[in-house]
Amino acid sequence: MSGFLQDFWFSITRPRRGRPKLELDSSTLQTVAVLAEQENRAPDEVAAELLQAGLRDRQETVMAQLLWQCLTPREQDVTALICQNLTTRQIAARLYLSPDTVKTHARHILDKFNVPNREALRQMLSGWDFSAWA
Amino acid sequence: MSGFLQDFWFSITRPRRGRPKLELDSSTLQTVAVLAEQENRAPDEVAAELLQAGLRDRQETVMAQLLWQCLTPREQDVTALICQNLTTRQIAARLYLSPDTVKTHARHILDKFNVPNREALRQMLSGWDFSAWA
DNA sequence: TTGACAATAGAACTTTAGTTCTATAAAATG
DNA sequence: CATTTTATAGAACTAAAGTTCTATTGTCAA
């Protein structure tokens, strides 16, 4: 058995109740293999890297969600529209404010998320769904 | 055996020579399991999603690399520095140009990559290593 | 050789975001 | 109740990016 099979078999045989099973379709595995071959690396290494990168993203999402809860309702509105790539003017028109007011909210938002600019905010929340503010 | 084990076992027993083995450390698997539990989803579903997202990123990189080849040497310089978040002024000082010239190059770069602004360019090349231009 | 094109360089002007400040009303606190 | 804090709103100014244009030189094709 390969090291992976050993590990997996070991985790299955451990006395754990209701442990979920890890099941991937073979096409994903094959794509990993193809990519690994292109990069001259072991597929398990590539897969681990991809998984770990994805997991890191998710953990950052948890942090961002906590910070989101610290926003006022108005700030959440402005955040959502910023992340949908609306300009200050567009946001102002949408929320019936002056552009300067939008910038004030943006200032507060960036401070609460501790990011240097709107781009960094958008990057931080890039996987979020803001369609409720469409 | 789980479905994954079946698939994997099946791929191993197929008459393929030198097929690489997929091997992940158990801590990664456990992290996937924890995340899946938080999201009330099956771990194999989460893992597949993470892998597929990562693979999609890699494919976009291939396209970007083709476009990168279309850049002139100067444009590649400017692209690298833009992606390291340098301002126009900083880039101009680094390359001994006027800021307006940097903006001209940027214009050409954005056109060649078919992106609307520098932020989109940085997003597109976010996984690249530009340390050679440090 | 001449003209077209590409690479490199730069300028004037506009738009947008960022920075620092002021102001008011409502809510919280002592 | 008086004061402080917070949320919301806005303004003046600056920095940065974006847009459209001009200019020169080298290369290439007719």
| Contact at CB, B22 and A28, closer than 8 angstroms | no
Dihedral (C-alpha) B27, B28, B33, B35: value to the nearest 10 degrees?
120
Residues of A in contact with B20 (CB under 8 A): 33, 36-37, 42-44
Q: B72: distance to nearest CA of chain A, Å?
A: 26
| Contact at CB, B43 and A21, closer than 8 angstroms | yes
The CATH number given to B73-134 is 1.10.10.10
Task: Please tell me whether any atom of strand D lies within 7 Å of the Cβ of B100.
Answer: yes
Residue B72 CA to residue B59 CA, distance in Å, equals 23
- Please give the pLDDT value at position A62: 81
Distance A77 CA to C8 C1' (A): 45
Q: How many CA atoms lie within 13 A of A40 on its CB side?
A: 0
Q: Is B28 helix (H, G, I), strand (E, B) or coil?
A: helix
- Please give the pLDDT value at position A26: 67
All residues at 6 or more sequence positions from B26 whose CB lies less than 8 Å from its CB, including other chains = A7, A8, A10, A11
Which of A51, A56, A82, A115 to mutate to test binding with chain B, by most B CBs within 10 Å of its CB? A51
Q: CB distance from A16 to chain B under 8 Å?
A: no
Q: Which one-letter amino acid corresponds to residue B95?
A: L
Q: CB distance from B36 to chain A under 8 Å?
A: yes
Complex ipTM: 0.75
**Nearest nucleotide (C1') to the CA of residue B89?**
D16
Query: Which range has the worst mean pLDDT, A8-17, A23-32, A124-133?
Result: A8-17
CB A24 within 8 A of CB B48: yes
User: Is the model more confident about A7 or about A64?
Assistant: A64
With cut-offs at 50, 70 and 90, classify the pLDDT of residue A2: very low
Query: Does A14 have pLDDT greater than 50?
Result: no
Residue B123 CA to residue A127 CA, distance in Å, equals 13
pLDDT in tens, A15-61: 333 223 344 666 677 777 777 777 788 777 777 777 777 777 777 78
Residue A18 CA to residue A59 CA, distance in Å, equals 24
Q: Which residue has the tokens 């231009």?
A: B133
Low-confidence ranges of chain B (pLDDT < 70): 1-27
CATH topology of domain A72-134: Arc Repressor Mutant, subunit A (1.10.10)
| Contact at CB, A5 and B4, closer than 8 angstroms | no
In chain B, CATH 1.10.10.10 sits at 73-134
Q: CB distance from B120 to chain A under 8 Å?
A: no
The number of beta carbons lying within 10 Å of the beta carbon of residue A44 is 20
**Which residues of chain B between 55 and 74 are close to nucleic strand C, CB under 7 A?**
72-74
Does the CA dihedral A123-A56-A16-A25 come out positive or negative?
Answer: positive
